[in-house]
A and B are shown apart, each in its own frame.
Chain A
Amino acid sequence: MATILEIKHVSKFFGGLAANSDVSFSLEEGMIMGMIGPNGAGKTTLFNCITGYYPPSRGEVIFKAQKISGLEPDRICRLGMVRTWQKVRPLAKLSVIDNVMVGALCRTNSLKTARELAMEQLKVVRMENKPDFPAGGLPIGEQKKLEVARALATQPQLLLLDEVMGGLNPAESDEIIQLILEIKKGGGITQMVIEHDMKAIMRISDRIVVINSGEKLAEGTPQEIVNNPEVVRAYLGDFHA
């Protein structure tokens, strides 16, 4: 299997705070990489560094054998990497379908084609029944699904999901888990998933990376992670407390 993403010694400083320090790991094509870590560990910051929201202070990011750190988010999206936002960012006044069309227009100039692509993605997240609803008025569960549909509409090879299940009820979370597994089965899309729900992350991930205080604490299969004493102490211990 080919490597699709390589994170090399990435650090990010906010003033004196090292939100990420010297983080390295890589993703193989087609896998699901889970990312866990306590609140404020630096997970979202790492997503921001990878997707160009801001450049890393040190280190570099290689996507499909090309150095992308320093590129703008729109370039990175067009190269085939897209993220969703932990704090959802709907285009509030636009309708559901228009939101997804904005994503689809990344690959086409035709509104007609974009609308068809968008409708397909709405079916994937099972929101095809309300395309004309204003996105800002959706309940949080559907705003999260809209984030995913919109990101998928850009036809990525790498999808970064930042706590898509956060704030959802168990039934909705389950729907998202199914969705992530379906995307994997469809082939062609590698995923990196930040999630606090341990059960969910164990179930969907091929590998897991644990971030703590900005550093990579551990990396391995779900089995290796639950059996890693350091992880149990730093994170799972916390989690159960």
Chain B
Amino acid sequence: MKSTLALIRTTAGTSPVATALGLAVLAGLFLFPSFVKSPYTLHIMILFFLSTIQGEAWNIIGGYTGQYSIGHVAYFGAGAYTTMILMQYKQIPPWYGMLAGIGVALVVSLIIGSICFRLQGPYFVLASIAVAEIMRLSAINLKDITNGAEGILITEIPVFKIGNTVVTDFLSKVPFYYVGLVITLVTILVTWMVQNSKLGYYFQAIREDQDAAHSLGISLPLYKNIALALSAVFTSLSGSFYAIYIGYIDPSTVLNLDISVQIVLVCIIGGIGTIWGPVIGAMVLVPLSEALRSDLIAGMIFKTGLTSEGSAIGTFLKENLAHAHALIYGILVVVVILFMPDGVLGWVKKLTVQKGRG
């Protein structure tokens, strides 16, 4: 027990052990589809990548800079819609659509930022929700562009070729797995680079004390805008990727406030303002939400024999548990805030330090 804790502690720094472990995990992730063929497992991994990308992206503006956006679905939706509209109606391949999506998300973020970051106070939080809702309503009503509430269904993803060689035809989940993995790794790398640069110092200074930061030569609107723009870029990428992967979007899925909340939860649960926090948060939340969706939890309760499937309580659980994710997330957040104010990551760190001393 003691040695595993010691191992966790040393991996927190950058020891040779940590490097070796990191490389092993990386190799494992790249080889994963060669060993695991189950489409459902690959699907869960892809959802985990999506969630990690979103968490890392939100972390830049929310975790490092301390500006809580509760409307990040706006950038997710911008990426998803731009990519899908271009692909379905203009026959523009999704890899260009992703770039266009980033462009749209950047414009949205700069509009929000340039208005809200001139003022201090809760304006940004409120505006972030408002803008997300405006985008959802626009997507419903601008039927000519977005196909309204019916949404957009992709009929065919163009084959990805380099020169004349076909790289992939996107018929299985494996290519999506690799695209997700690569975007995730890039997002983590960029976060790491931000943390270890002047930007990271300035973002955190703003989070810790705006007035102090301002007095030390930091332009608040400039650096908040940079943080939001960076965050929007990666959130938009996750939206584009989601849209192409699922193949169907509509306003109630890709512009739903629920997604904004989930993105924030990934960070809060894992540990805000840290590189690995969102990874951990996604590892907790993705399986949990899958379990909720697939009646797994009700099934488990029946197995324990606490109540049977036929009883009144059983029927109630079966019908409602799948829709109770908001409630369960709420409980989870309360538990995390009460017992792990720095998220799972902070909690584990504290535990290892205490055990190390004891």
User: What residues make up the interface of A, taking CB atoms closer than 8 Å to B?
Assistant: 51, 53, 72-75, 77-78, 82-83, 85, 89-94, 98, 101-103, 105-106, 109, 111, 114, 150-151, 154
Contact = CB atoms under 8 A, between A and B. Distances in A.
Contact of A53 (B196, B201, B211, B213): B211
12 contacts: A72-B219, A73-B215, A77-B215, A82-B216, A90-B209, A91-B204, A92-B208, A93-B208, A94-B208, A102-B213, A105-B198, A114-B201
Contacts of A89: 209, 211-212
A88 to B, nearest CB: 9
B202 interface: yes
Contacts of B196: 111
A111 B198 contact: yes
A78 B217 contact: yes
A72 B217 CA distance: 9
A193 B201 CA distance: 29
Nearest to B200: A111
Contacts of A111: 196-198, 201
Contact of A72 (B202, B212, B214): B214
B205 interface: yes
Nearest to A85: B212
B220 interface: yes
Given A74-B220, A91-B208, A94-B208, A101 B215 contact: no
A85 B218 CA distance: 16
Interface in B244-265: none
A106 B212 contact: no
Contacts of B214: 72-74
Given A105-B198, A109-B198, A91 B205 contact: yes
Nearest to A100: B216
Contact of A77 (B202, B204, B208, B216): B216
Given A91-B204, A91-B208, A106 B216 contact: yes
Identify which of B212, B213, B214, B216 gathers the most chain A CB atoms within 10 Å of its CB. B216
Contacts of B209: 89-92
Given A92-B208, A94-B208, A102 B201 contact: yes
B73 to A, nearest CB: 28
A94 B204 contact: yes
